[in-house]
Amino acid sequence: MKPQNLLLFLFTLLCLIVPQGQTSAALTSEKKSWLAKANRHEKNGWIYVHIEGTARERGFQHGYLLANEIKEGLRIEKKIWEYSSAKEWSWLVNNAATMSIPKVDSENLAEIDGIVEGMKSAGVVTTRDELVAYNASEELEFYWWPSVKDSIYRNSVVEKKQSCSSFIATGSMTADGQIVLGHNTWGSFPGAYYNIILDILPENGHRILMQASPGFIHSGTDFFITDAGIVGSETTIDGFFPFDPKGIPEFSRMRHAMQYASSIDEWADIMKRGNNGGYANAWLLGDIKTNEIAWFELGLKYVGFEKKKDGYFSGSNIAEDLKILRFETNVHGLNIKDNDISRRVRWKQLMKEHAGKIDLEQGKSFLADHFDTYLRVVSPGSRTICGHFDIDSETFGISEPFRPFGACDGKIVDSKMAKNMSFQARWGSACGMPFNAKKFLDEHLQYDWITTILKDRPSQPWTEFTAGER
């Protein structure tokens, strides 16, 4: 295809993406040149988006190409927030802006402003304040809001946060002696719509390939690769409560670490600077240049950190650092009825059983594992690595049975793939079990409040993604 015909085709395609029933703003020649460097396509439930250039340029590309999806993400987040807190979304947006915007670095703010501008050109209106609240929603809802709410009315119930199962292995643990990293995201089905594969080629810093939610400048699920040779994932620390409103939002620090860190130590140092305790995670990191892996557990006052070139680390939402566990969480750490502990035990079993044989295919089977270490049977539910709270009538460690919550995806990468800036991912549960929203709501009328935001999650195949694909 001739270059001029290819450009015409691309702009025709872009016009089709503009939200139906809304009028897009006329694109200047400058903005057309920005969009010519970006692209979007869809595969097996995922939306792949490539953006590049300055912060404003890549933000504009992001906002324009994902305007519909960001609008829907904001609608869902507003519904969840207002139901769970009984406070208006505008109240959260205003508070988030006052607390967070002065601490977000100028490059991240410029990218957010670019998203606002791109969405406006595609006919969808939002604001910087709203997108900051959206990007910070995890730490606002589960860390800042409980501290505010408790000042009004003491509430000892800690809601189950977004959770994950993850492992990283290297050396004698893997089939080729190099790094293998696997992760599945756990979340509330109405809200955990992280089906974006975002390929970011910034003007400055390292290229990033990551899973994300539409409108996020960070990952949210925190599975990523950079061209510095850093791979990473995390599992949220359960029962964590300290929060410092004077600190830098986690989403801003996480994005800065991905873009500018060239080593595991640099990555951890960036995350520690200005730490606010929000979205407290145990990070599993790898450096394919050195074949070294790390466990980096970031509380508020306490930090756990260890590196090795032989062995493994796993994550199941339970703090491993005793100071974090005892002083910054309300979790004891031994009750195997709790899914955090049952999965920790299962990771130990899997690593022992498969030592020296771990590769991509083994990793996929780990992420889809349904062995319940409390019941000692294969039984998909709340205590399995591939979590299925929605079919579990006897859940432990959460507030209710049959909750529409669990594993929403699977991702896997090894050193060979990371060198090529690629990974494999599966949308929907890591095991492939489909979720039918109508059937679920017909059987569980207590959740009728999510009727307008709950979506099907059909079975999808594992799919490979690479930075730079078109």
Q: What is the pLDDT of residue 4?
A: 45
59 and 202 fall within a common domain: no
The CATH number given to whatever domain includes residue 96 is: 1.10.439
260 and 310 fall within a common domain: yes
Q: How many residues does the chain have?
A: 470
424 and 382 fall within a common domain: yes
% the chain with pLDDT above 70:
91
pLDDT, tens digit, for every residue of 227-250? 999 999 999 999 999 999 999 999
288 and 427 fall within a common domain: yes
179 and 119 fall within a common domain: no
CA 408 → CA 45, 368, 454, distances in Å? 12, 11, 13
26 inside domain: no
Q: What is the pLDDT of residue 91?
A: 98
8 inside domain: no
Q: Are 392 and 402 in contact (CB under 8 A)?
A: yes
Q: Are 197 and 47 in contact (CB under 8 A)?
A: yes
135 inside domain: yes
209 and 82 fall within a common domain: no
Domain that holds residue 85: 13-20+31-152
How many domains in the chain? 2
Produce one character per residue of 257-275: b if its CB has 16 or more CB atoms within 10 Å, e if not: bbbbbbbbeebbebbeebb
157 inside domain: no
Low-confidence ranges of the chain (pLDDT < 70): 1-25, 151-162, 192, 395-399
Structure tokens that stand for 261 in this block: 């860190």
- Residue where a domain stops, chosen among 152, 174, 202: 152
- Residue 350, phi then psi, degrees to nearest 5: -65, -40
pLDDT, tens digit, for every residue of 248-287? 999 999 999 999 999 999 999 999 999 999 999 999 999 9
180 and 325 fall within a common domain: yes
* SS3 annotation, 257-278: HHHHCCCHHHHHHHHHCCECCC
- Residue where a domain stops, chosen among 132, 152, 172: 152
Q: What is the pLDDT of residue 399?
A: 67
Q: Are 408 and 164 in contact (CB under 8 A)?
A: no
309 and 382 fall within a common domain: yes
- Residue 202, phi then psi, degrees to nearest 5: -80, 160
167 and 115 fall within a common domain: no
DSSP 436-456: -HHHHHHH-GGGGGGTTT---
Q: What is the pLDDT of residue 332?
A: 86
96 and 193 fall within a common domain: no
205 and 146 fall within a common domain: no
Parallel, antiparallel or unpaired: strands 39-43 and 230-236: unpaired
Q: Count CB-CB contacts under 10 A for residue 136.
A: 26
3 inside domain: no
195 inside domain: yes
Q: What is the pLDDT of residue 394?
A: 77
Cα–Cα distance measured from residue 249 to residue 273, given in angstroms and rounded to the nearest whole number: 11
- DSSP 8-state assignment for residue 379: -
Q: What is the pLDDT of residue 150?
A: 72
363 inside domain: yes
300 and 418 fall within a common domain: yes
Q: Are 215 and 70 in contact (CB under 8 A)?
A: yes
The CATH number given to whatever domain includes residue 263 is: 3.60.60.20
- Residue where a domain stops, chosen among 91, 118, 152: 152
Q: What is the pLDDT of residue 12?
A: 40
Q: What is the pLDDT of residue 129?
A: 98
41 inside domain: yes
